Every structure is written in C-alpha cells, then in structure tokens.
Amino acid sequence: MGGMDNPLLETWTTPFGVPPFDRIRPAHFGPAFEAATAAHRAEVAAIGADPAPPDFVNTVEALERAGALLTRVGAVFFNLAASLASEELQAAERDWAPKLAKHRAEVMLDPALFSRVAALHAQRAALGVAPDQLRLLERLHRNLVRSGAALDEAGRARMTAISTRLATLHTAFGQNVLADENEWRMVLGEAELEGLPDFVRVAARHAAEEAGVEGWLFTLSRSSVEPFLAYSARRDLRERIWRAWVMRGALDPARDNAALIREILALRAERARLLGHADHAEYRLADTMAGHPDAAEALLRAAWEPAKRRAAEERAELAALARAGGQNEPIEAWDWRFWAESARVAKHAMDAAALKPHFELEAMLRALFDTAQRLFGITMEERRDIPVYHPDVRAFEARNADGSHRGVFLLDNFARAGKRSGAWMSSFRVTDALDQRVSPIIVNNNNMAKATPTLLSFDEARTLFHEFGHALHGLLSLARYPSQAGTNVLGDFVEFPSQVMEHWFSVPETLRTHARHHATGEALPEEALRALLAARNEGQGFATVEYVSSALMDMALHRHPAPETLDLEAFESAFLAEIGMPEAIVLRHRPIHFGHLFSGGGYAAGYYFYLWAEVLDADGFEAFEEVGDPFDPDLAARLKAIFEAGDTRPPMELYTAFRGREPKVDALLRKRGLAA
Ligand SMILES: [Zn+2]
C-alpha cells in the first residue's frame, strides 16, 4: 500500500483532525512507519548538518518540530494496540516495537545532534531564553545523556541494542498477560450465583452473550473478579477465580514471563551501569522528584508498618465476622473481600450493593464534568460527528468558559477482549504552540463491565475521576513545546493531577447533587451518604499493604545486584517473608503480570509514584478543606495553573506556588486513616 492511499499519511479533514478511524486498517501501519521514520531521520540529520552555529531555534525548537508524522502515526498505533488489539495489530506490534525503539535510540544518540545540544547547554546561561525554554534545553540535554549520547561509539551501539531488545521483551510480556486474561473463563449456571447481587449477574450475563456462551461468564478482568470475590457466597468458586487471577502471566507454561523478567531486569541493570549508576532504580530515580531510591523507599516504609498494623486489626475483625457467619476456616486471600463487604454492612450499615443504583455511569459522568466546570471553567459537550475507533467509545469537545475550543476527549469505558486491563489516559495528539495553538486529543480507558444500566462501584467511580484528572492535565496544557505538554512531567509528579481529582468525587456536595438513583432520580439519603463517607477509610490496611508491598518489590527487583541469575519465585517468597507480608493479602501486582514494570519501562522502579504524588494530593486537598470550600475560586485557579503548566517549571515550584509552602507528609497518613 503506497502513500497515496494510506489514510495515516494524509492530512486529516475530520472534525478537529481526529484520526479517520473508519479508514485505518492494520496493514496501513507498516508503510506509514517506514515513511514516518525516514522523514524523522532526515529532519534530525538536517539539524545536525546545519552549517549555521547552533542556537535555540535551529536546534532545540527544530528537534521539537521533528518527527511530527511519526508521533501522529505512533499515537494511533499504540492506542489501538492497547484497547482494540487484533491478531494482525499484535503481529505489527511485535514487528514494529523493536524497530521504533531502535529508531528512537539512533535519533537520541546522533553525535552531530548531541554536539550541538551540548554546545548550547554549556552556554545556556548566556542564551537569553525564556524559563520554559531553558528548562526544555536542560531536560533535552539530560535525556540525551541518559540515553547514552555522551558514551563512546561502542557504548552507544550497546545502548541501541539494549533499547531494541527491551522493546521486544516488553511487547511479549504485555501480550502474554493479555492472552491469559482473554483466554481464561469461568462459566456458571444459575445455581452457582449464590450471593451475587443483580448488577454482578447482569454484567456476567452480558459478558456471556458477548462471548456467545450459555450462562454467566466471569473473566480475569478486575471488574469481573473483584465483585465476584466481594459477593459470591461460594467459597470454592471464590478460590477458583482468585487462584487464576493471581497467576495471570503464568497460566500457560508456554508463555514464560519469568524468563522475560530476568532478561528485562538484566538489560536495565546493564544500561544503568553503562551510564555510571549502581542499578536501574538509581538510574530511573535520578530523573524524578524523589531523586534517589532511598528517598522513595523511606516514604514507602513510613506507610508500611502502620498499614500492616491496620491490616492485622482488619483481619481479626473479618475472622470474627466469618466465625459468626459460619466459616470456621481462617480468612484466606479469597475470603478477604467477601468478609470486608459484610463488615461494611455490619459496621456502617453501608450496603454497597444497595447503593449502586446511585452510582450509575451517566450520573458519575455528570459529576465529573460538573467538577471540571466548577473548578476550571471547562465544559464538556458530547459530539456525535467526531470519529471513534469502537462503537462504545464516546467523544466530547472540551470548551473554555467563553465557548472557545480547548480539546477533544474520547472516553472508552468498557472491558472487552483485546483491551489490556486497568484504567489509563493517553493521547492521540498533545497540545503545542510551535506555530499556532494545536489542541489536544485525549483518551481515557476504563475496564467497566458493560451492562444496562452500568452501575459503578465506589472504586470504579473514583477511578473515573482519577483518569479524568490525567485527561484534564492533557486538555488544559498551555505548554508551547510538545515535550513539555500535559503529562510529560517528572514521573513521580504524573499522578498528582489525577489523584487530587479523586477528592472531588467524595466531597458531600458532589454526592448530594449527582449520586442519584438511575431509575427514580432520587438523591442518596443523608444517612446513606454519611455511612458512605464514614466507610471510606475502611479497608485501608488491606489496600495500603497490597500497594506498598508491590512498590517495595518493584524497588527490590530494580536494585537487585545480579538479576540475570534471578529465580523469580524464590525471590518473591523470600522478599515477602523479609518485609513481613501479612497472611491472606497478596501483592496488588505479582511480578509475573506486573505490566507497570514489564510491558513498558515508564513505571519500572516507579510504582512508588502513586504514593509520592499522594503526599502532594492529600496535602493539596487539605488547602480546600482549610478554607471550607472545595470549589474555592482562588485555590481552584492556582490548581489550574499546575494543570496548565505541564513540564514548563519544576514540579515543587508549581506545587508551592499553589499551596504557599512545601507539602507535609502527615496529610497522607491522615487521608488513609493510618495516622497514629
Ligand atoms: Zn494515574
């Protein structure tokens, strides 16, 4: 297929330049990537060969402009590969992920380019550029050095080989986990649904219909497993689904993720040493707010002991309830969510299943968009004329208070085969103002169980707010350079906008206005509202333990002195023993399916990012509590400035401009109900 009939290479005349999804076929990507990488190579070569001495415009800005076609094609490709993977697309991903990694490495390691950037960097104080430009230059220089541009030729060749191989391994890891999640099924008959409330049955029925099977279908999607574990009265079936769930990534012995992990860790360690760091964690954190693994681990450890104490208390409470409920066996991991649900009912008269009709998807979307309007003056209007890549995807136009266009927001809510698990934000286009302002096209993915109506759990509704926080970070960005746009901030600052947004889901005002019964329109009774808020910190021992243990494990794996010899299973159990992992709680993500770490490099030695950012969001939201108004206009305007800034300024500078001081850690423990 030549360029002439390849929609990926055309100018898009769709509304707002959204990709013309209906015309894009998997076969278009190969030729488009060939053309786009060639164009990018030529652009970078031209920068290096420029006879004029390097200046900000002909080097740094020129590099920001370079590769626009590749960015555009890559965004379509990787978004579709994540949420609408077909065999054809997966094959293309296996083929192109390493080729693109090699291409990126070659660009970053281009000696002519690096010598120009290094020359500019050396005289940066005398360039007279604006603060965002100075930061762009400093971070570009640092990124090139961290990619290996300052190494000798052999070192650069090795860095390219490592990046290329890692891309192959990351892709294989992600596809293995997806295969396990797609293939495993538990089909039940009516007699086996004991304890399951209507919303769980409806979703399982729907999943069965989609899959063309009789009965009720449960999969390894979190939105299928967690409600089953919380409500099924059949302990044997809970155990069955739980055992499969924790073995994702190792269900088929032919797909050996342990071997992939060993090789990934060894390559990352080698790369770190080539660049003068002790290990990957030290290398990764050198470019974060934390700065060093010790700082991140100190925060994780500060939460770990109180979390363990709380979890032990929780387990004792659950055991007492279980005994009263006729279960004489000790609380096992597949019991925890079930008895925790009973505990919420017993302690707070908070029956989550009975409240669910108040947390219907449409109502929660109204809550979300209302929050964006009240805090930031942004309105969201659904548009049917914007192309989408699947019938379930919805498109919205984000507008400023004066009605002008701010960006496009695509929302892809439901779990389906071919979509990876979890929830995430991504973009088809980031904003920039290199010439004129280009508006962003942002997408949120969730994995809700599809049903009519779609009733959300408290956690799912909160996740909706979380991902929309990332989306607003992308939509509100006013950075002029693409490298500084939206979520392109230091890794451990990325989760601040998303996590801070979660707070608005549970402000009483939001719940009073929007948590309405989907059929009757009735507001949540005040008593139920109070119970809901009181029960919010319930289970924080469990939640903190499963998260912090995963983050500590991540750090230990990436500080391992000889990962090429790693016996993963032995390491995992020894490590859990060493940190004193409470019985009956497992890692939120075991290494064999830990996609944050192994299906890409972004969160490798970075699972702590969430807790690091939580120090900021807990402390930051307290600012609103201190003034007694969650929509205080002055504070909201200062918060908006963080969303708009992207990476144009250092994160701590942005935060202190908002808060008036640096964050205090105690807000985090208060928020989780773990303060002594
Ligand atoms: Zn997030």
CB 419 within 8 A of CB 85: yes
Rounded Cα gap, residues 356 and 558, in angstroms: 41
Q: Please list, in sequence order, all residues whose beta carbon lies within 8 angstroms of the beta carbon of residue 570, skipping any fewer than 6 positions away.
A: none
Q: Separation of 505 CA from ligand 1 center, angstroms? A: 15
Residue carrying the six token digits 């387990």: 315
Q: What is the DSSP string of 131-152?
A: HHHHHHHHHHHHHHHHHTTTS-
Secondary structure of 197-250 as H, E, C letters: CHHHHHHHHHHHHHHCCCCEEECCCHHHHHHHHHHCCCHHHHHHHHHHHCCCCC
- Taking only the tens place, the pLDDT of each residue in 312-329 is 999 999 999 999 999 999
Q: Separation of 121 CA from ligand 1 center, angstroms? A: 33
Q: Separation of 494 CA from ligand 1 center, angstroms? A: 7
Q: Separation of 91 CA from ligand 1 center, angstroms? A: 28
- Taking only the tens place, the pLDDT of each residue in 137-161 is 999 999 999 999 999 999 999 999 9
Q: Separation of 268 CA from ligand 1 center, angstroms? A: 24
pLDDT, position 346 = 84
Q: Separation of 299 CA from ligand 1 center, angstroms? A: 19
- Taking only the tens place, the pLDDT of each residue in 166-198 is 999 999 999 999 999 889 999 999 999 999 999
Q: Separation of 495 CA from ligand 1 center, angstroms? A: 5
CB 487 within 8 A of CB 494: yes
Q: Separation of 552 CA from ligand 1 center, angstroms? A: 18
Whether this model's pTM surpasses 0.85? yes
Average pLDDT over residues 334-340: 96
Rounded Cα gap, residues 438 and 134, in angstroms: 22
Q: Separation of 423 CA from ligand 1 center, angstroms? A: 8
- Taking only the tens place, the pLDDT of each residue in 13-38 is 999 999 999 999 999 999 999 999 99
Q: Separation of 25 CA from ligand 1 center, angstroms? A: 30
| Phi, psi (rounded to 5 degrees) for 606 | -135, 15
Q: Separation of 501 CA from ligand 1 center, angstroms? A: 11
Q: Separation of 173 CA from ligand 1 center, angstroms? A: 21
Rounded Cα gap, residues 317 and 191, in angstroms: 30
- Taking only the tens place, the pLDDT of each residue in 229-247 is 999 999 999 999 999 999 9
- Taking only the tens place, the pLDDT of each residue in 576-591 is 999 999 999 999 999 9
| Pick from 285-294, 373-382, 445-454, 498-507: least confident | 445-454
What does pLDDT average to over the chain?
95
Long-range contacts of 57-63 (CB under 8 A, 24+ apart): 59/113, 59/116, 59/117, 59/120, 60/117, 60/120, 60/133, 60/136, 60/137, 60/140, 61/434, 61/481, 63/113, 63/117, 63/140
Rounded Cα gap, residues 252 and 184, in angstroms: 10
Q: Separation of 433 CA from ligand 1 center, angstroms? A: 26
Query: What percent of the chain is predicted at pLDDT more than 90?
Result: 90
- Taking only the tens place, the pLDDT of each residue in 465-481 is 999 999 999 999 999 99
Distance of CA 27 to CAs 73, 324, 601, Å?
13, 60, 27
Distance of CA 275 to CAs 144, 473, 489, Å?
11, 32, 22
Rounded Cα gap, residues 313 and 541, in angstroms: 8
Q: Separation of 73 CA from ligand 1 center, angstroms? A: 24
- DSSP bridge partners of 405: 399
Distance of CA 259 to CAs 35, 132, 214, 263, Å?
35, 43, 38, 6
- Is 317 a residue of the active site? no
pLDDT, position 4 = 59
pLDDT, position 417 = 86
Annotated catalytic residue: which of 297, 341, 467, 572?
467
pLDDT, position 356 = 87
Q: Separation of 236 CA from ligand 1 center, angstroms? A: 34
- Taking only the tens place, the pLDDT of each residue in 596-622 is 999 999 999 999 999 999 999 999 999
| Pick from 173-182, 543-552, 555-564: least confident | 173-182
- Taking only the tens place, the pLDDT of each residue in 249-299 is 999 989 889 999 999 999 999 999 999 999 999 999 999 999 999 999 999
Rounded Cα gap, residues 668 and 107, in angstroms: 41
pLDDT band at 645 (very low <50, low <70, confident <90, very high): very high
Residues with CB under 5 A from ligand 1 (ion): 495, 498
pLDDT, position 532 = 87
Both tokens assigned to 284: 């990764």
Both tokens assigned to 510: 């939001």
pLDDT at 3 over 50: no
pLDDT band at 1 (very low <50, low <70, confident <90, very high): very low
pLDDT at 99 over 60: yes
Both tokens assigned to 525: 């009774």
Average pLDDT over residues 378-406: 98
Q: Is the dihedral of CA 126, 132, 135, 141 positive or negative?
A: negative
Q: Separation of 360 CA from ligand 1 center, angstroms? A: 22
Q: Separation of 92 CA from ligand 1 center, angstroms? A: 27
pLDDT at 2 over 50: no
Q: Separation of 211 CA from ligand 1 center, angstroms? A: 30
Rounded Cα gap, residues 129 and 127, in angstroms: 5
- DSSP bridge partners of 407: 398
Q: Separation of 591 CA from ligand 1 center, angstroms? A: 19
pLDDT band at 509 (very low <50, low <70, confident <90, very high): very high
CB 99 within 8 A of CB 86: no
Q: Separation of 274 CA from ligand 1 center, angstroms? A: 31
